[in-house]
Structure 1
Amino acid sequence: MARGSNINKELSDVLNELWRLDVNRMKPGVDYKINLQGKAGFVAPGSNHARDGARAPLFSYVNEDKLKSIDTYAYFLNLLDNYEMATGVTEQVTKEEIQENHLFLDAILKTEVMKCAQKYLVRKGRAQSDPDQFKRQLYDVWFKLYHRDRSGGEDSCGFEHVFVGETKHGTEIMGLHNWVQFYHQEKNNHVDYKGYKARDNKDTPDGDDHVLNLQFSCNGLVKPVGSCFIGVSPEFEVALFTIVFFLSDERMTNVKVKVDEYLLEIVVYRFGRSIGTSYPKMISSNNRDL
């Protein structure tokens, strides 16, 4: 997969089909409301001091009843308390947690989003056509534990890093690229939204955007620049990042795509045969200059 500046049209076409099929995507202003407030400031490398450009939380409203009524979100929510956030601390995975992983995968594999992703990857010779074998591939990519911090045991996996978040040596917050987790951590006063990140005034986001570059702290640790989709379903994120991961054997892949109105860079890091991290970066939206 090329790392050039051009938009990857084939991948954009596939991701737009996933976008069209994502019937579980939440509607901004209806199912949730965000309060963008001010622009985040510069944070010096290694510092946990950030000027707060947002006195109020990012999420002013989320329809939790709707989230819990949709299988993929409900099973996703069950996974968020299964991990020890600190790297270097060996994960203790129970039978119940393994079952929760399988229930989540079973739920997303029933969606048209994941069926579309599988068909595309099979066509590219990168995934198994048998549903059970494809599920095993997904399990290894997202839930298989590995050593992120070499000083400890198996302390991490792709799902934990991307969707839950981790801390490194008690001084750095890593991952946490999911809006549902961000909302729950914010609601429990563990996350403090500091403001949106933008290159200039032309890049100022609005409350209807489904992708956001932002700054926040989690349990006192500042993430100077983070990014996540807003409102999209868990199956959409898993499908998108899985496709990009499977299409490249390089340690890092960053590819530029146009999804709906958004010009994005999708970044995926490989950790052996699993995902190390994955996230979107908003470049621009067509309601602003491209």
Structure 2
Amino acid sequence: MWLLTLTVILSGLLWTAHADSCAGRCGSGVDSSKNCQCNSHCERFGDCCSDYDSLCNGAPSPPGSTPTDLHGIASLIWEKDVNRASSSHITVNYQGHTSTSSGGVDKATHPYFTHVNEAVLFSRPTYSHFISLLDNYDHSVDATEYLSEHQWHETDRFLDVALDTDVMRETEKFLRSKGLVSGGSSAFRSKLHSLWFELYKRSSNGKISSSGFEHVFVGETKSNSVTGFHNWIQFYLEEKRGRLDYKGYVSRSQPDLIGSQFSWHQGLLKSKGTFFVGTSPEFEMAIYTICFLMKPNDSCHIRLNGHSVSIKTYDNSNWSGKQIATAYPM
């Protein structure tokens, strides 16, 4: 009798262990018969299995398949980012730690970037065409924005080369699988153009003076401060030209994220500007686009190279339709 009882107890323990595991269940739908869940919603509802993070967050999808959740697609496009800079391409100097309340006290006597291998990185098509866009905008949000025919052509060329990368191809596949992109082959391109490059007002009574691309990748000035400006390439180039003064780091985290304090355009202060260091233009546009469409006006929790990262995005509520007001890593 005691052998039968022991067998029943052990069987129950094995069933419970299986029910509490994500083994073979990553990305699956809600199963009310299980004690815990294994999809991206479980973090919000607090019912993830204990091994969800180790098994599912960033776990690779089967070859040739489309990832089912944010962790999967973030990890996939990180792996596909062949244009990301290696450690030999970039050297930085963090120097002193500062805070957002320091008032711009300089804790760094030297530039943040010590070395960037421009010959290798900036000759790559997505980099070179991205850089051609950085001087197309007036930094002031009080100035009416106007792009010439040539500047719009530069925008088109950047989209051409960005869309011709595995990062963007996987991004399109994922967004189509979620019903966030539909239509013909040009639909994804049109969506990127609308989200990032359509000019808009930043206030209900303001001028048409901004775009998602300008705010996030180029940076803007408003009154006596810097807004946006979340890209390492623009930071490096402006620092090299002597127009940007790095004041020190507010925060540091992996994979290669910095919250920096700096002044730009005649001393206007950015108390904390966060950005990835070394990621390609196409990767940043892709991950921000995914997070904006999947988690608009919210925090988008992902894993990159084994590290937890949150992306914050906001829609521009002062303009009809969806346009990216801002996007940045936290």
- Bin for the TM-score computed over the shorter chain: 0.7 to 0.9
Aligned to 1:284: none
Aligned to 1:143: 197
Q: 1:89–1:152: 8 Å Cα contact kept in structure 2?
A: no
Whole-angstrom CA distance in 1 between matches of 2:279 and 2:124: 13
Structure 2 letter corresponding to 1:33: T
Distance apart, 1:246 and its partner CA: 1.4
Give the gaps of 5 or more residues in structure 1.
199-203, 282-290
Aligned to 1:259: 304
Name which of 241, 246, 270 aligns with 2:315: 270
Aligned to 1:238: 285
Map 1:69-84 → 2, pairs under 5 A: 69-84=123-138
The DSSP-based 3-state class of the residue aligned with 1:131 is: coil
Whole-angstrom CA distance in 2 between matches of 1:131 and 1:188: 40
The DSSP-based 3-state class of the residue aligned with 1:155 is: strand
Whole-angstrom CA distance in 1 between matches of 2:170 and 2:114: 33
Map 1:137-216 → 2, pairs under 5 A: 137-169=191-223, 171-198=224-251, 209-216=255-262
Structure 2 letter corresponding to 1:133: A
Map 1:1-80 → 2, pairs under 5 A: 4=44, 9=57, 10-28=69-87, 30-43=88-101, 49-80=103-134
Flag the 1:35–1:129 CA change in 2: closer, same or farther, 3 A: farther
The DSSP-based 3-state class of the residue aligned with 1:100 is: helix
Distance apart, 1:260 and its partner CA: 0.7
Q: 2:100–2:261: 8 Å Cα contact kept in structure 1?
A: no
Structure 2 letter corresponding to 1:270: D
The DSSP-based 3-state class of the residue aligned with 1:69 is: coil
Whole-angstrom CA distance in 2 between matches of 1:212 and 1:263: 14
Whole-angstrom CA distance in 2 between matches of 1:71 and 1:97: 17
Structure 2 letter corresponding to 1:31: H
User: What TM-score do you get using the length of structure 2 for normalisation?
Assistant: 0.76
Structure 1 letter corresponding to 2:91: K
RMSD of aligned alpha carbons = 2.0
User: What TM-score do you get using the length of structure 1 for normalisation?
Assistant: 0.86
Larger RCO of the pair (alpha carbons < 8 Å, separation 6+) = 1
Q: 1:254–1:266: 8 Å Cα contact kept in structure 2?
A: yes
Whole-angstrom CA distance in 1 between matches of 2:206 and 2:324: 19
Q: 1:163–1:181: 8 Å Cα contact kept in structure 2?
A: yes
Distance apart, 1:257 and its partner CA: 1.7
Residues 105-132 of structure 1: CA distance to partner in whole angstroms, max 9, x if unpaired? 1100000000000000000000135331
Distance apart, 1:58 and its partner CA: 0.5
Name which of 196, 216, 224 aligns with 2:271: 224
Give the gaps of 5 or more residues in structure 2.
1-39, 47-52, 58-68
